[in-house]
Structure 1
Amino acid sequence: MRVLIADDEPLARTRLEMLLRDCPGAELVGSVASASAALAALPELKPTVLLLDIGMPGVDGLALAERIARMAPPPQVVFCTAYAQHALRAYELKAADYLLKPVRIERLREALERARKLHIESAAARPHLSGMVRGARLRVPLDEVIALLADEKYVTVHHQGGTLLIEDSLRTLEQAHPERWLRLHRSCLIPRERLLGLNTQTDGRIVAQLAGSTLQPEVSRRNLPTVRAWLRHP
């Protein structure tokens, strides 16, 4: 299992890193100090499990878990916190487990095993897009999609492995997974969790900054209020 740690306390991160060495099958792929850094790292690191603190500056762990829950499929979240009062909310967010600090090795192993089983169940039902590439049919999981750009006839799927042409319309895709997509303009949809921020160009155009990609699609004036509202309250 690929494990990412998100905790603003250096000592807490170091302790979890040490404990993971004694957890068979666990591979530490990253250790970050904030929720925003974790969100930015997810597309590249592709963790199976996120060991997540709750009380962090800026976006807290619960808010990050709400955003992660919209991914398809999401990494399994194991909260590691000093506060017991958030347990109910954590399980409402379908967290794999809730560990109190100081985390004990036995409980961490239990949590990782539970997360592994949940990940297998989730992956079995992994939604995807399908299209033809050089005569062969290719399936692209939705969680690997970066953006959907439409022209007159086709939709180009920009994903982590390249691009794919599909015949589904943006409207059809938007209606199939309304909770997943955010419309930037009439010819562009992006996964909501990919949006990191907005940049204003020298010519006045506003473009989106996307996690895991240098692609910067333009945001229309019509859709700008909705996009900004999402950034404020994801």
Structure 2
Amino acid sequence: MAAPLSVLIVDDEPLARLRLRTLLGAVTQPALVIAGEAGSAEQAMALVLREPPDLLLLDVRMPGRGGLALAAALHELPRRPAVVFVSAHGEHALEAFDVEAVDYLTKPVRLERLQAALARVAARRAPPPASGPLLVVSERGRLRRVPLAEVLYLRAEAKAVLLRTLAETISLDETLAELEQRLGAGFLRIHRNAIVARAAVRALEPRDDDEGWAVRIAPGDEWLAVSRRQLAAVREALGES
């Protein structure tokens, strides 16, 4: 069983820290422990250097060094905690992802959004597929363990990634890029919005009306588009000239 997720709350407002602490107490999954609280970036960095937590719930605007600067500084550490920003100001979201934040929550934080962000962090901490046959994913704020042998493909659509198995389609909270890092050699990127299980591919064929190429996925006989950029790599991976 994985160790509980250790969370450090960083916000200059005591009431904001209290609300996050209360919300964390209501989280049912993943398991977590509150590693402490900090009222400034400097205090947070001192705590991180003493005993790195798994996650910082980090305010953006604070007196002195702000949350974005602190997140950038964490990149220099040998063991870097994940960061989920919590802010009353939505306009910093793009900057937040520039420093590789896992998520960006706006105040007042809703429990379901917090739980979904925590699940994404916990899924990232899961062991890679090489150590076992399960893929740990985040579905609507809860963790699921999906047998890799059952995964046919993953496809990004609108605001979600759809994971297709032999029996169901699961809507995930994570990005395709995050998931790709945990899939291993048995999976193949065929398009910027699609990754397929090599074992599920039955054919690579040109489509009608000059629509490019596509792979046929068994057993459901579904077709997924292959981008021109990925075509050569897909051909090579499937042993085609």
TM-score between the two structures when normalised by the length of structure 1: 0.50
Letter in 2 for 1:18: T
Instruction: Please give the alpha-carbon distance, in whole angstroms, between the structure 2 residues aligned to 1:45 and 1:107.
Output: 27
Instruction: Please give the alpha-carbon distance, in whole angstroms, between the structure 2 residues aligned to 1:47 and 1:76.
Output: 9
Which residue pairs with 1:42 in the alignment? 48
Which stretch shifts more, 5-14 or 24-33? Answer: 24-33
How far residue 99 of structure 1 moved from its aligned partner, in angstroms, is: 0.2
Which residue pairs with 1:58 in the alignment? 64
* Cα shift readout 1:165-187 (whole Å, capped 9, x = no counterpart): xxxxxxxxxxxxxxxxxxxxxxx
| Unaligned segments of structure 2, at least 5 residues | 131-241
Which residue pairs with 1:166 in the alignment? none
Corresponding residue to 2:9 among 5, 13, 32: 5
Instruction: Please give the alpha-carbon distance, in whole angstroms, between the structure 1 residues aligned to 2:112 and 2:59.
Output: 19
User: Rg: which structure is higher?
Assistant: 2
Percent identity, aligned pairs only? Answer: 46
Which residue pairs with 2:111 in the alignment? 105
Contact preservation (8 Å) 1:30, 1:45? no
Instruction: Please give the alpha-carbon distance, in whole angstroms, between the structure 1 residues aligned to 2:77 and 2:102.
Output: 15
How far residue 121 of structure 1 moved from its aligned partner, in angstroms, is: 6.4
Cα gap change, 1:72 to 1:20, in 2 (>3 Å)? same
Instruction: Please give the alpha-carbon distance, in whole angstroms, between the structure 2 residues aligned to 1:43 and 1:113.
Output: 24
* Cα shift readout 1:95-118 (whole Å, capped 9, x = no counterpart): 010000001100000001111122
Which residue pairs with 1:23 in the alignment? 27
TM-score between the two structures when normalised by the length of structure 2: 0.49
SS in structure 2 at match of 1:56: coil
Letter in 2 for 1:22: A
Instruction: Please give the alpha-carbon distance, in whole angstroms, between the structure 2 residues aligned to 1:62 and 1:121.
Output: 28
Contact preservation (8 Å) 1:7, 1:53? yes
SS in structure 1 at match of 2:16: helix
Letter in 1 for 2:20: L
Letter in 1 for 2:63: P
* Cα shift readout 1:2-29 (whole Å, capped 9, x = no counterpart): 0000000111000000000111312101
Cα gap change, 1:5 to 1:115, in 2 (>3 Å)? same
How far residue 61 of structure 1 moved from its aligned partner, in angstroms, is: 0.2
* Cα shift readout 1:34-79 (whole Å, capped 9, x = no counterpart): 0000000012232101000010000000000000122233100000
Instruction: Please give the alpha-carbon distance, in whole angstroms, between the structure 2 residues aligned to 1:57 and 1:121.
Output: 38
How many aligned positions are there? 123
Which residue pairs with 2:84 in the alignment? 78
